[in-house]
Structure 1
Amino acid sequence: MYQSENFHKAAAYSRQHGGQSFLVMRGGKIIFEDYHDADGATLPHKLASGTKSFWGVLAMAAVQDGLLTLDEPVVDTITEWREDPRKSQITVRHLLAFTSGLESGKGVLEGNPHQKDIFARVIDIPSRDMPGNSFTYGPSHLTAFGLLLKRKLGADPVKYLERRVFHPIDLTVANWTRDKVGNPIMAAGAWTTAREWAKFGELLNKRGIWLDNQLVRSDLLDIMLTGSTANPGYGMTVWLNVSNAGRKSERVRRRPSRAGRDDSGRPSPGSAGRRMLEDIIAAGGKGDQRLFIIRSLDTVIVRQGDSVRHKGSGQAWSDKKFLALLLGYNARDPRSPRRRGREGL
């Protein structure tokens, strides 16, 4: 049963927080759209860290293609790490789960076109913990993964992403921010529209199937959507609606880690609340770019905006409130049930 009133409430909330695009897709069809600008449907928007989840799906495709395995040592490809007692133990799985032990790389490897060769720089980035012990959110892990892919492929990793994932689902990325030597900013470089991003969400919603074709094996995507011991709320490049206490963080530093936080420092887009639907999958980036996938409702939700610069609302963006409005929950009512069926949207 569709509740158009809920759509409009969620759209209004998004606009109050600098929202520029808001889209709801169900059953593979767009059932609601709201744009700040007249040409908003065709206006590409920076995904920031929403870019990260592309690489998790591509990694599973690469496993399917026989290009790599999740548990292979990264040092087999990034051989410069052979003599490092920590880096030499990093696996592909650690990179994708952000549990490699590498420093975050913030300020060094972020989405800045003025950065020098980020693939060269990630070779020398310090390690602060043994792989698997802790979760650290930042661009270092995927930058190292990009270097690994580039060496294995002998080509630009984005070309493989386009050929293997984007082209089969007719997804167009309008632009990809790159460093000075042309390497893609792996963790935050993609620009696309809400409609295009929704296609990627639908691929996850349908467990890797597109037009009756199993593009990426479902069992591999299930692995991608499983949290780590260090952070159960984060799978391989995606946020999960799983409670975590930032555990393992104190092995790295004496203050709370970024476990359960997005790159704005607020609760992660997957932390919608345990009274929400438990199967929410999310990608998110700075400015509160959001892609939510709710398989139990056969629904994909896209929200794009610039909440960082927008100060008109006087209040910070809340994923929990946004989803409560959209799904018809009372976000403050502890009696609100965890919905498992298709009611609501």
Structure 2
Amino acid sequence: MKIFRRFLLLILIIILIAVFYNYPKLNILAGYSAKNTASSVFVANRTLVFTDSTDNNFSPVDLASDEINETQKTATASVYGLLTRKAVIRKGLGSVLTLEESDETASYLSPKRLESDNSTSFPYGSASQKDSVFTNIDYDKLQKTVASVFGKRKTRAVLVVYKDQIIAEKYTDGFNKDSKLLGWSMTKSILSTVYGILQHQNKINVQDKAPIDSWQNDARKNITIHNLLQMNSGLEWDENYDEISDATKMLFLERDMTKLQENKPLVGKPNETFNYSSGTSNLLSGILRKQFATHQEYLDFWYSDFIDKIGMNSMVLEADLSGNYVASSYSWATARDWAKFGLLYLHNGNWNGQQLFTKNWVDYVTTPTPTSKGTYGAQFWLNAEKQFKDVPKSMYFADGYQGQRVYILPEQDLVVVRFGLSWFEENLFLKGILESVVKP
């Protein structure tokens, strides 16, 4: 009997040790599941069953059990009852993970939005486009190319726009033109665009030193906004989503996501040390907030001078508990509205006759970051060194986790949008689309 009791005690000690060492991971795991569930159900209008069977069904997130409260618009996730996290919905700001019980009822500001233009046809409004047939397009080949990335590739949406006209559009079961889709890190390109608009309005100069008070007494005072936009500040950052890292701690444990990168030391030299960092994008969101006299103006500007102005009315930018837009990761919109974003760049910042930013800004975001080997610009990814060998070097794109993409191909007058839950063979996909658009 004593031996059996000792054995049980040993097992209990092993379990307690395992829980102790894995508790931080469980915190992030449950946080991911709760946050994603709340956004999927209450922002994207999906069901809990659908969310659990698709978006949250990968290891180790599938260890969490999710519940929602339709009345209070909350989602909770529990891992074996050892740890529970809650996410709440805030009007106009999407979902956010709570850190204290008081966060559930805390007051907050919401962005003011413009109404969707449902009378003007796509792309300048949300009404159906005026269809036309291009004689230079091989529509059969185009449809086959689009279909090739569905099925096992877990693609949810593909949209191809040529000369402002949708020439291909396909959705997987359960999705349609009105479905909101998470852009993940494509939000970084949204952030960059806000900087471009402020630059055009002479309200900011990205070549200025970053206005961070805590940096003024050390070498970090030499970091410019430009360095941050190019992910080339030299600051320490661990962008790893397979374990506890700077990125996961920021997204699932921080009240103010703009601060974690600010507090990191230099490990390289500004303009000489490319390091992809979601913390940098959120730091930039915090810098943007400082450009406005009030928090309300900061919240409104992204929509009034950009998102709603180009008819991306479906878009929802999610914010942290401190009211900062999570510019690294959290923005939702329909595939058609994401295509409008690409078209804004295709038209060099001109939207239906109004200049939101200049061609110089397009040149700026597509200039390769030093030491990035031609793959990165100012919060956009590039093909400057032919990463995609069958695609023009001039192609650039917004890039998000699991293959969320908005490709901009200026020479071909093309914008291509893809959403899904897994990576795919991008070069072959884009090659097929390009070969479908035969030059007249």
TM range (shorter): 0.7 to 0.9
Count of equivalent residues = 295
Query: How far apart, CA to CA, are the structure 2 residues paired with 1:58 and 1:155?
Result: 16
Instruction: Name the counterpart of 1:149.
Output: 288
C-alpha distance 113-158 of structure 1, shift in aligned 2 (>3 A): farther
Please report how far the alpha carbon of residue 237 of structure 1 lies from its aligned counterpart in structure 2 after TM superposition: 1.0
DSSP-derived class of the 2:309 partner: helix
Supply the RMSD in Å over aligned alpha carbons.
Answer: 2.1
Please report how far the alpha carbon of residue 101 of structure 1 lies from its aligned counterpart in structure 2 after TM superposition: 1.1
Query: How far apart, CA to CA, are the structure 1 residues paired with 2:282 and 2:408?
Result: 25
Identity %: 23
Query: How far apart, CA to CA, are the structure 1 residues paired with 2:375 and 2:201?
Result: 28
The structure with more radius of gyration: 2
Determine which of 142, 145, 165 is the counterpart of 1:7.
Answer: 142
- 8 Å CA contact 1:20–1:35 kept in 2: the answer is yes
Alignment of 1:76-225 (within 5 A): 77-85=211-219, 87-104=220-237, 106=239, 107-109=245-247, 112=251, 114-153=253-292, 154-155=294-295, 157-225=298-366
- 8 Å CA contact 1:169–1:210 kept in 2: the answer is yes
1:271 aligned onto 2:378? no
Q: Larger deviation: 134-143 or 109-118?
A: 109-118
TM-score (norm 2): 0.63
DSSP-derived class of the 1:328 partner: helix
Instruction: Name the counterpart of 1:240.
Output: 382
C-alpha distance 168-100 of structure 1, shift in aligned 2 (>3 A): same
Report Cα offsets for 1:227-270 as digits up to 9, x if no partner.
12222321111111111xxxxxxxxxxxxxxxxxxxxxxxxxx8
C-alpha distance 132-325 of structure 1, shift in aligned 2 (>3 A): same
C-alpha distance 300-239 of structure 1, shift in aligned 2 (>3 A): same
C-alpha distance 33-344 of structure 1, shift in aligned 2 (>3 A): farther
Query: How far apart, CA to CA, are the structure 2 residues paired with 1:61 and 1:293?
Result: 19
DSSP-derived class of the 2:170 partner: strand
Report Cα offsets for 1:72-116 as digits up to 9, x if no partner.
000xx211111221x211101101111011223533345836532
DSSP-derived class of the 2:291 partner: helix
Determine which of 146, 161, 168 is the counterpart of 1:32.
Answer: 168
- 8 Å CA contact 1:109–1:115 kept in 2: the answer is no
Instruction: Name the counterpart of 2:204.
Output: 68
C-alpha distance 114-176 of structure 1, shift in aligned 2 (>3 A): farther
Unpaired segments of 5 or more residues in structure 1?
Answer: 244-269, 308-315, 330-341
- 8 Å CA contact 1:24–1:299 kept in 2: the answer is yes
DSSP-derived class of the 2:258 partner: helix
Query: How far apart, CA to CA, are the structure 1 residues paired with 2:261 and 2:295?
Result: 18
Please report how far the alpha carbon of residue 9 of structure 1 lies from its aligned counterpart in structure 2 after TM superposition: 2.4
TM-score (norm 1): 0.80
C-alpha distance 2-214 of structure 1, shift in aligned 2 (>3 A): same
DSSP-derived class of the 2:149 partner: helix
1:41 aligned onto 2:177? yes
Higher RCO (CA 8 Å, separation ≥ 6 residues): 1
Please report how far the alpha carbon of residue 143 of structure 1 lies from its aligned counterpart in structure 2 after TM superposition: 1.4
